[in-house]
Homo-oligomer: A and B are copies of this chain.
Amino acid sequence: MANVVVLRLGHRKTRDKRVSTHVFLAARALGANGGVLCGEEDETILGSVRKVSEKWGGKFPISFARNWKKELLRKRRQGFTVVHLTMYGEKLMDRIGAIRRKKRLLVVVGAQKVPPEAYSLADYNISVTGQPHSEVAALAVFLHELSNGKELDARFPGARIRIAPSARGKRVMKGAKRAYKTHLYK
């Protein structure tokens, strides 16, 4: 799969704290390889996403960039194709075939109003339905389609904790010895 970096555009520290965290955790869980937070600086988000990676494995470098445009142009110079997720864009399924063939993707998700320039700087403006909903949901469906559902079985090397799927309880595998710790809910 492509190298996928998610850029969160226009983060506002108080209002978007939880949703921006969801954006990056969903990105990590669903196969993206890193994130960039743009807007108001917010170390707590970077910290909590890094903590999740340390504990649950895999690599998900995340950084802050004050200027989203500079960051976007920098990624373009590095060969990234820019996909902006917006309800105004072209239909996901009409373009996902072409997007799957790209080696490096910068996926831009906005908080609230996105500057017009983002639409023109993007290689693709893509909509996951033309309805107003959630950038987290749009990103999730996009990443799921991008890897044809294969992200659901991804491995996260170096995890200190893992979940074993279970019909009823919580089966948590901890530490290098992979001792099972099972909570069964009755």
Which A positions have Cβ atoms within 8 angstroms of B? 15-16, 18-19, 22-23, 25-26, 28-30, 52, 56, 87-94, 116-117, 119-120, 124-125, 127-134, 136-141, 144-145, 149, 151-152, 154, 156, 162-172, 185-186
Contact = CB atoms under 8 A, between A and B. Distances in A.
A156 B129 CA distance: 11
A129 B117 CA distance: 35
Contacts of A18: 15-16, 18-19
A186 B120 CA distance: 6
Contacts of A30: 129, 133, 137, 141
Given A15-B18, A140-B137, A144-B141, A154 B168 contact: no
Contacts of A168: 119-120, 125
B25 A132 contact: yes
A168 B137 CA distance: 22
Given A18-B19, A120-B186, A152-B93, A169 B134 contact: no
Contacts of A186: 120
Contacts of A87: 163
A99 B101 CA distance: 32
